[in-house]
Amino acid sequence: MIYNKSIAIVIALALLCAINFTNAQEAQNDSTELPLKIEQAEPLFIDLIRDLGARKGESEWNVGLGMFDRLNYDKYEALVEYEWAVKDRLGLEIEVPVSIYTSNGLESANGTRPSNRIESIKKAFQWTFLVSEKMNTSMAVGGINEFVFTPLDSISTSSVFQGDVVNPFLIAATNWRNGFHSLIYTGPRWFIPFNKELKREFEYEINTNFHYMIPNTRNFIGVEFNKILAQDDFDMTIRPQMRVSISNKLLIGIVGGIPINRERERLSSFIRLIYEPGHRHK
């Protein structure tokens, strides 16, 4: 518990520092002048907390639906998330994902399917500390804190949560000015259990992204390479994707999933609906 509190304190202090630094930057800028923001293609599966260089007042609703063909069962995932910029370049997010597992007729004694569950409550922040017009590059740091629920069939008043996931991250993105965009999203991820029956877990994520955005639109095609390094293990899933603008405030993203090996999962698909109330796009 002391370790958990220490992590929470570090995240809180980082957030306060980001807020204070952003306030200082705002005080130096003219109140009528919008801060610089470089258009960057945002990945659709491992999405960002807010746009890089987000401006105060911007917000976004996301609804995601996914289907994952696991070796011994099928997984259906739904999520609802809300993200908003509380200050220029400082974004916050809250997300609630839900997972439902069904039989695919291939279950075995060594591969029974998990219980249906509300996965977690995810809270996150992201601070864009660099927006370089000369390099057409943005960089950000942030953190995700995730309280993981106990499965619905074994939940009780004394064990609502299984544990805590802590995930600090770094983002660097470049708009190459010819329609091409690249982005890297990377950081460690710890699972800290709340009881002795579960064990701590550690993995490191490296997500690299390449997109081509059609000129004068917000439509793009691209690919994510989601890589996870754990003890004596490496997994990568290739996720080709496209985003289409339905209106000035509504977009839809379609993602496929192709693992490089089939240790845990075969093909998958994911759809993300993105609603941006009150946005102004150039």
Tens of pLDDT, residues 92-139:
999 999 999 998 776 655 557 888 889 999 999 999 999 999 999 999
Model's pTM, two decimal places? 0.84
* Side chain identity, residue 174: T
Q: What is the pLDDT of residues 204-235, one digit of tens each?
A: 999 999 999 999 999 999 999 999 999 888 99
- For residues 113 and 59, the model is more confident at 59
The dihedral sign for the CA sequence 230, 268, 221, 82: negative
HEC per residue, the chain: CHHHHHHHHHHHHHHHHHHHHHHHHHHHCCCCCCCCCCCCCCCCCCCCCCCCCCCCCCEEEEEEEEEEEECCEEEEEEEEEEEEEEECCEEEEEEEEEEEEEECCCCCCCCCCCCCEECEEEEEEEEEEEEECCCCEEEEEEEEEEEEECCHHHCCCCCCEEEEEEEEEEEEEEECCCCEEEEEEEEEEEEEECCCCCCCEEEEEEEEEEEEECCCCCCEEEEEEEEEEECCEEEEEEEEEEEEECCCCEEEEEEEEEECCCCCEEEEEEEEEEECCCCCCC
Token couple for 129: 């500390």
Span 157-169, pLDDT tens digits: 668 889 999 999 9
